């Protein structure tokens, strides 16, 4: 049975502020770190040696080429090289390809080996400030395995943005979307709160709100947003709208939704879920929990029209 065959439903995990991670390594070195990715962004792991790699002329150096898998042409990204790790020829032969789905964009990440699937509570995921000191930081947060080993969660959206920028949100398209939109006075004079842990997504969202001259306040995770809203007390009712990711350290976006809707001061604030976890179950759960809308991260350029439609 495949390592990925036994996983719990993503929506049930998120409701309980939990997630499941596929833990893997990118080289055979004993000193090599453990890395992880949400299992619901993965499809399968295949042996690299069994798939012919077609190179692409004039592409980014980290884009190794493409393979054909189940009638799909899938770009292969060199994850070890992005991390500054050079694989030996023998390691390349023994390596695997982790097939992932980011907002419907199917890619393959070269890894050495899949280790295991683990379940974690989001409050066990930590995002030290050191990871955020530079815009080129590759790590978003970390956690610990049972033996105490450090396991790093990377900013895969940054990786995609670096190598296949056309797969990410088009901020220029956002400006075009504003031409026929009348921004309500309530939105012009108010503040939108945003919880997002990816620096790549933060930059895109900041530009989107700047284009519309809308004041926004960014938080690096959902717990920080909830702490801020709680500190406002009854004044929290003056917040125009809230935008939240689902996957965040300390507190998931679904837990953010639950807490906002449980408070008399924030229950009527429109909440938009902006996530790369775009499965129908997640969209339904967001609606059940009271979200006013759900938008895929690659379509974040539509977020201002969506907010206008729900406030």
Question: Predicted confidence band at 200 (pLDDT cuts at 50, 70, 90)?
Answer: confident
Residue 111 token pair: 């890894």
Q: Which domains does the chain have, with CATH numbers?
A: 10-166 (2.40.50.180), 169-310 (3.40.50.2300)
Question: Predicted confidence band at 1 (pLDDT cuts at 50, 70, 90)?
Answer: very low
Q: Which residues contact 241 (CB under 8 A, 6 or more apart)?
A: 187, 190, 192, 193, 269, 270, 271, 272, 292, 307, 310, 311
Residue 115 token pair: 């280790």
Average pLDDT over residues 5-17: 61
Q: What gap in Å lies between CA 206 and CA 200, rounded to an integer?
A: 10
Average pLDDT over residues 42-53: 93
Q: What is the DSSP string of 34-77?
A: EEEEEGGGEEEEEEGGGSPPBP-TT--TTEEEEEEETTEEEEEE
**pLDDT over 70 at 44, yes or no:** yes
Residue count (the chain): 311
Q: Which residues contact 279 (CB under 8 A, 6 or more apart)?
A: 10, 40
Q: What gap in Å lies between CA 301 and CA 47, rounded to an integer?
A: 37
Q: At which residue do the structure tokens 């790093």 appear? A: 152
pLDDT in tens, 211-249: 889 999 999 999 999 999 999 999 998 899 999 998 888
Q: What gap in Å lies between CA 198 and CA 70, rounded to an integer?
A: 31
């Amino acid at each position: 049975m495949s390592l990925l065959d036994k996983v719990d439903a993503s929506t049930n995990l998120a409701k309980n502020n939990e997630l499941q991670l596929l833990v893997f390594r990118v080289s055979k070195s004993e000193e090599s770190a453990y890395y992880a990715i949400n299992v619901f962004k993965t499809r399968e792991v295949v042996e690299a040696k069994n798939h012919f790699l077609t190179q692409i002329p004039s592409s980014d150096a980290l884009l190794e080429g493409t393979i054909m898998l189940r009638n799909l042409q899938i770009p292969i990204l060199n994850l070890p090289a992005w991390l500054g790790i050079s694989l030996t020829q023998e390691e390349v032969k023994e390596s695997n390809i982790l097939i992932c789905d980011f907002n419907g964009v199917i890619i393959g990440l070269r890894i050495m080996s899949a280790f295991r699937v683990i379940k974690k509570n989001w409050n066990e995921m930590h995002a030290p400030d050191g990871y955020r000191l530079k815009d080129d930081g590759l790590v978003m947060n970390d956690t610990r395995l049972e033996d105490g080993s450090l396991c790093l969660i990377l900013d895969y959206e940054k990786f995609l943005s670096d190598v296949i920028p056309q797969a990410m949100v088009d901020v220029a398209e956002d400006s075009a979307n504003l031409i026929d939109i009348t921004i309500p006075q309530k939105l012009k004079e108010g503040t939108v709160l945003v919880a997002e842990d990816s620096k790549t997504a933060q930059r895109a969202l900041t530009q989107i709100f700047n284009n519309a001259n809308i004041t926004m306040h960014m938080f690096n995770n959902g717990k920080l947003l909830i702490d801020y809203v709680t500190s406002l007390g009854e004044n929290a009712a003056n917040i125009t709208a809230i935008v939240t990711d689902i996957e965040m350290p300390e507190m998931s976006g679904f837990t953010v939704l639950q807490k906002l809707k449980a408070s008399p001061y924030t229950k009527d604030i429109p909440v938009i879920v902006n996530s790369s976890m775009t499965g129908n179950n997640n969209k339904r759960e967001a609606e059940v929990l009271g979200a006013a809308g759900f938008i895929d991260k690659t379509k974040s350029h539509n977020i201002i029209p969506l907010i206008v439609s729900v406030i």
